[in-house]
Amino acid sequence: MTEPVTLLDALDRAVEVLAGHRLAVLTGAGVSTDSGIPDYRGPGSPPRNPMTYGQFVGDPAFRRHYWARNHVGWTHVRRAQPNAGHRALAAMEARGVVGGLITQNVDGLHGDAGSRRVIDLHGRFDRVVCLQCGADTPRAELAHRLEALNPGFAESVGSVADVEIAPDADAVIESTADFVVAPCERCGGMLKPDIVYFGENVPKDRVARAYAMVDDAGALLVAGSSLTVMSGLRFVRHAAKAGRPVVIINRGQTRGDPLATVRVDAGTSPTLVTLAQTLPTPA
């Protein structure tokens, strides 16, 4: 069980616990907030009701609404840049401190920062897949098609800075009734962002690779995740059951706190920078 300690004590304890281990890292939306991408459940986040997989595939109105919002949100998220926390994790990987990274985020910022061993647990917002023929295309290509089908739509709802953006590149806007959705260019089928929706399962092979990454590490570091959903919590449970130390860095409580060896209630960027500067390269 985690004992209440000061931030400085928690940081010292985290370094003590992690030193000498090659780490597996699990990241959530809290890692990307300093890049301007809000999280779902952090302190101060507004209530959100993300669209489910069933709604997306089963209701044309929901699907149209999603793509209209995503068309606006895409512009914002694709411009986001890695922050100090992303760069600190990449630097630790380059030194051999981090052996691999599992991210619940879909923004691709870990790769942009230089991390190489990344498992995108919930997919990536910059890819689009056809649910009928399986064609995989860049989201940037779809952006041009959506703009041609809906000229001036993004501008009509105001500047991106004035629109609330969600972590999956969704944007909260009101009027989407006239938005035209693009079909697959190959077969005319239904296009879906290549991300795991609420109510949809993470592909089994991806989960297996993530478990293997945890098994190959000496300790698990969790950064910026409330661990509310089982998708991420299972790796904390797996590590704890195997007797591996678990360090959690997050603002506010997490569902994994009872399993944590050390819990650091702080922002991820400065804490990860401190760890990158402090942790030695494993022998």
Active site residue 122: yes
Neighbours of 28 (CB within 10 A): 28
Contact assessment for residue 224 and residue 30, using Cβ atoms and an 8 Å cutoff:
yes
Catalytic: which of 21, 76, 122, 238? 122
Residues identified as active-site:
122
